[in-house]
Chain A
Amino acid sequence: MLNEILSALVAVATLQNLLIMIAGIWGGVIVGAIPGMTGTMAVTLALPFTFYMDPVPSILLLVALYKGSTYGGSVSAILIKTPGTASAACTALDGYPLAQQGKAGKALNMALYSSVTGDFISNLSLIFFAAPLAVLALHIGPPEFFMLMLFALTTVAGVSGSSLLMGLVSAALGLLLATVGEDMYGSFRFAFTPDMQAGLSIAPVLIGLFALPELIKLVVMRAAKKEEAAKLGAQHVTRAEFMGSLKTILKGSVIGSVLGAIPGIGPSSAAFFSYGEAQRSSKNGANFGKGELEGIAASESANNGACGATMIPLLALGVPGDVITGVMLGAFMIQGLTPGPLLFQTNIHEVYMLLIGMLVSSVLLFFAGKITMRMFAKVSLIPQTLLTPLVLLLCIFGIYSIASSPFDVAVLLVMGVVGFAMFLLNIPAAPFLIAFILGPMLEENLRRALAISRGEPAVLLSSPITWVFAALIAFVLFITMRREIQKFIAERRVNQ
């Protein structure tokens, strides 16, 4: 094992890999710092480029973009009170008041230290927990996998958007779209044109769904915001300030790691949970929302703390927990690697390279953040009216270059319109994408389970593992419905 780790370390420590990670982190920070651009967009836009790279550098690039953008979201949150990513929303609560007090640099530094710490702890959790989980997963068959994926899908549907019902509708749409093309026995389903016989590729669907609706919103609604960035001002976080927030950073990192490992939760929920917990337990709780460094520490340590942990279910079980890991699953598959328990047997060298690369990228995040902090204030002011058309251009060229297929470009544009329609109807897009990616595996495992059991549906509840997942699904549904009923009652009271 030690030999494997050492050889992976040598393989990672090449100039090419380091440059790729640095480019990924910087690219991610810049994209995350621009309001309206998200980490998902950064990762999806980079996906076409990974087709031409080796497997490990391509995944490292995507991971670096993910981490960079998660931290980058805090930049515009602090400087212009516009979170670059949803997971930085809590950072704006204390970051912007600090910037108004002339302490933007201090807030950015605290965000950076917390992000790096959270990220490092999260990577350690990935290293320690992914392999044992993969070993456990080797003992499960089609019914268990079906129930596991159903659980992931239910969780994503439950936490995305404001309604479980709309989350489930979105998932059903994604499952349906995933059936387009040839099925496992050679039948062509919904093949309206010859191009559709091969099914719809992941890249145009997900890029269209997540990158283009922003453009359509900008053209149709024209609600672009113009903000004035705060000056960086006081820069340094003192030792006393850091030590005062250390407990919150560590707690936020653990919260991020635990919640990130559960499919469907992701960095945004982790940040909100951590912020709430820090406010509850801190002696400075009354200052939260008025410019408290601990608030930034709580939010940023948790959102970056979730980054590495979201890779646990992806690597160990082959189940993406959120949209970004969904994109990464696509990248793995494009490279001929299949995440899941067998990955730890067939491609252990690549797995070690990935884990070591992720640890290295935590360190790079620190330096990238430090070096480019002053530049960020400018980046967050690029007008959306110029930036968004550039995104469209990148999407079109990127998608065409994957398969030299005008059909894929058409799918990209159509999915952009579908994403916009879903936005108008308040149907969340995340369950759609996860369902689209998991759909073929979900169906295959269901059909295999039914074939093995001679068509007996009870096979789906035939083992203790399937009972556990069924119980978890029921639990998630119960919790989400209870939350919605409570919200409804509160709304009715307000209306009365």
Chain B
Amino acid sequence: MPKPVLRGLIIVGFFALTAFILVPAFVPRPAFIPGFAPPPDMWPRTVSLAGIALGVLALLFAVFRPRADEAPLETDGSSRARMAGRFAGLMLAFVLFLAAIPVLGFLVSTMLLTLCIVLMTGERGHRIWIALLAFGAPILLQLFFSSALGTQFPKGVLTKPFGF
């Protein structure tokens, strides 16, 4: 499916979901609204309907006024499947990071996330810099924020005995 058509479908789908499912379910109307004030769902509904109209226009343009191909994305030449795998890996890293905070604490979780991200960028040289970045930088930042700004970072269930 051409990208502009897919884009139009995604836009229409998202705003339709919002207008017809999310707004009725998640924007409650209060029993009493003072004066002639519009209800709380007026604005999100209006914006969603406008979004649907814009999406339909995008779809019509994509079908009836096809433009020259959009500029290709700059990549390292990997296949789509490989790039999708990298994206999935990154999402997994983000989810695991959030899940790890209560268990391993903020410091260890950020260390692991940083190391993971540096390796995911394909960087294999500069090993000392990688180690400093992954392990030294989070310690420095935590020291800075906790001592200078008084931020209390969450400690992990497993790492609490060690003070972080």
- A binding-site residues for B, Cβ under 8 Å: 52, 165-166, 168-169, 172-173, 175-176, 179, 183, 185-192, 215-216, 218-224, 383-386, 388-390, 392-394, 396-397, 400-401, 404, 406, 409-410, 413, 417, 424-427, 443, 446-447, 450-451, 453-455, 488, 491, 494-495
Contact = CB atoms under 8 A, between A and B. Distances in A.
Nearest to B130: A386
Contacts of A424: 73
Nearest to B111: A393
Contact of B30 (A175, A187, A384): A187
Given A223-B75, A451-B35, A389 B118 contact: yes
B39 to A, nearest CB: 8
* Chain B at the A interface: SS class: helix
A189 B26 contact: yes
Given A446-B43, A450-B38, A451-B35, A491 B130 contact: no
Contacts of B98: 406, 409-410, 413
Query: Which of A183, A191, A453 has the most chain B CB within a 10 Å cutoff?
Result: A183
B142 interface: yes
Contacts of B57: 165
For this complex, into which size category does the number of interface residues on chain B fall?
A: 35 or more
Contacts of A450: 36-38
B27 A426 contact: no
Contact of B43 (A179, A220, A222): A179
Contact of A401 (B41, B117, B151): B151
A447 B121 contact: no
A451 B120 CA distance: 54
B3 to A, nearest CB: 8
Contact of A190 (B26, B54, B121): B26
Given A219-B120, A401-B149, A455-B36, 9 more contacts: A165-B57, A189-B27, A220-B87, A385-B123, A388-B117, A397-B110, A401-B145, A443-B43, A447-B43
Nearest to A166: B58
Contact of B58 (A165, A410, A495): A165
A413 B145 CA distance: 20
A370 to B, nearest CB: 30
B71 to A, nearest CB: 9
